[in-house]
Amino acid sequence: MSIPLPAHHSTSTAAAAPGGGAMIARQAIMNDQQAVIGYELLNRSRAHAEHTAASDVLLVFTALSHAGAEELFGKMLIFVNCTHESLSGGHLELVSPDKVVLEIPPLGHAAMEEVQARRPILADLRERGFHLAFSHQVLESAYAPWLALADYIKLDISLLPPDQLAVLVNYAGRHSQARLIAEKIETAQQYQLAASLGVQLFQGYWFARPTLVQAKLLPPAQASIVQLLNLLRRQAATTEIEEVLKKDAGLAFNLMRLINSASLGLSHEITSLRQAVLLLGLKKLFRWAALLLTAVRSGGTPPAVGQTAVVRGRFMELLAREFMSPEEADQAFVIGIFSLLDQMLAMPLATAVGLLHLPDELSAALLQRDNIYGRLLTLVETCESGDDGRFDEAVQTLPLSGQQINWAHLQALAWADQVTQA
C-alpha cells in the first residue's frame, strides 16, 4: 500500500485546499498545575472516514515527515490513537518510543482468549520503550492481562457518573501503576471533581475555551511589559525604553535571557537593551516582549494558557509566511500571542486589547475576525478543537494546503516547547 507523505516546508503561494491526506488536530494533556505535559494528535480525517490502520500510519508519517522525532517532540509526550491492526506496522520503527504514548482501544467483544492472545504484542511494544494508554475499560475483569501493561488509563468524564468515576479511580490505584487521565472535560466542575478524586492528568476542550473575567488592575510585572510594548509599538526613543527597564530590573533580565535563549542564530550574546534594539529592531523586540508576557501570569492563570498562546503565535507566523510578506508574518505572530490576552491579563479581551493601543487591523483580527489575520486565527483555533465543520470553513478561506498546515502546526509545537523551556 502506498502512503502519501506530506512534503516539507514549501514557500509556494498557490495551494489547493486540503485533501487526500491526514489533517492533524491536537489536544493538550495537562498536569494538576495545568501545565502542558503532552499532546494527543488527532487525525481529523477520521471525521470523514473510518479509523483504519492506514489512517494511523498516515498520521504518524505526517508527523515524522516534517522533522526528526527529537526536534519535533522536544520534552512533550505525544499520544497517538491506534488500531490493533496498526500496532505491528513498520511505521513505529521510525518513532522515538520514549516520547510516544500508544492509545490502545478495547476490543469490540472482549473474550479472555483474545485479550490474552494480543498481550504479547502489547508487551513487546512496552519493552521497546513505548508507553501504553488504555480506556477505563481496561479495568474490567476481561482485560486483566493488559492492566499490568498500562502506563496511562483514560477516564471518559462524559460517560462516567461521579459515583462510578470514584470507584474506578480507587480500583486503578489499588491494582495498577498507571497514571490516570480525566478526558473530555468540558466544564470547570468536571475538572474539580476529577481532581478531588486524586486524578492528576487532564484533557478536554474546556482548557482552550475563554472564561468570563472581570477587569482589574494589572500586577506590576504585567503592567511593566504592557508599558514596554506600547513604547515599542509607537517606536519610542531607545532612552525611553531603557528608562522603563531601569525601573524593573527583573523585566530587563528576563527579556534579555529570552532573546538570547530562543535560537536567534546570533553570533554573540546580546547583553543590553541598546544592543537588542540595534540588532533586532523595535518590531522584533516587540515580538520578544510579547512572548515574555505569556510567561508572566496573573494569579490563577494556568501555565497552559501561555503555552497555547506561544503555539498560536508561531503557528500563525509560519502559515502567514506561505503567502504574506515577512512583516505581515510578524504581525500574525503578535496576533496569535495576543489572542489569549483576556486569559493572561484576567480581563475582557476588548479591554486588554485597548491597553495595548494596537493598530485597527490587528484589533479587528482579535475582536471581529473579519480580515486575513482573523481568518488565520480562526484556523489556528480550530486545530485545538473537535469542531470539524468550523475547521473546514476556515480552510476554505485561505490559500493553504493540508501539507502546509500540518507542517506549520507541528513546527509550532516544537518551537513553543523550546521557548517555554527557556
| Residue-wise pLDDT tens digits, 157-202 | 999 999 999 999 999 999 999 999 999 998 889 999 999 999 999 9
All domains of the chain in start order, with CATH = 24-208 (3.20.20.450), 220-421 (1.10.3210.10)
The predicted structure's pLDDT at residue 16? 32
**280-328: pLDDT as tens digits:** 788 888 998 999 899 886 666 788 889 999 999 999 999 999 999 999 9
Looking at per-residue pLDDT, the higher value among 195 and 14 belongs to: 195
389 by Cβ neighbours in 10 Å (0-12 / 13-18 / 19+) ranks as exposed
Q: Which of 7-21, 40-54, 218-232 has the highest mean pLDDT?
A: 218-232
Q: Nearest-CA neighbor of 67 among 420, 359, 417, 421? A: 417
Side chain identity, residue 351: T
CA–CA dist 317, 324 (Å, integer): 10
Q: Please determine, for residue 247, whether its predicted confidence score (pLDDT) is greater than 90.
A: no
% residues pLDDT > 70 (the chain) = 82
Q: Nearest-CA neighbor of 315 among 403, 399, 381? A: 381
Q: Please determine, for residue 15, whether its predicted confidence score (pLDDT) is greater than 60.
A: no
> How much is the mean pLDDT over the chain?
83
CA–CA dist 419, 211 (Å, integer): 26
Q: Please determine, for residue 64, whether its predicted confidence score (pLDDT) is greater than 60.
A: no
Kindly list the distances between the CA atom of residue 193 and the CA atoms of 160, 185, 285, in Å, as whole numbers in the listed order: 12, 10, 43
CA–CA dist 182, 195 (Å, integer): 9
Say how many C-beta atoms besides its own lie within 10 A of residue 252's C-beta: 18
379, 398 Cβ separation under 8 angstroms: yes
The predicted structure's pLDDT at residue 4? 28
**77 - beta bridge partners?**
38
List the end-to-end C-alpha distance of the chain, in Å, as a whole number.
42
Q: Please determine, for residue 367, whether its predicted confidence score (pLDDT) is greater than 90.
A: yes
Looking at per-residue pLDDT, the higher value among 284 and 337 belongs to: 337
146, 128 Cβ separation under 8 angstroms: no
The predicted structure's pLDDT at residue 104? 94
The predicted structure's pLDDT at residue 47? 45
Looking at per-residue pLDDT, the higher value among 281 and 52 belongs to: 281
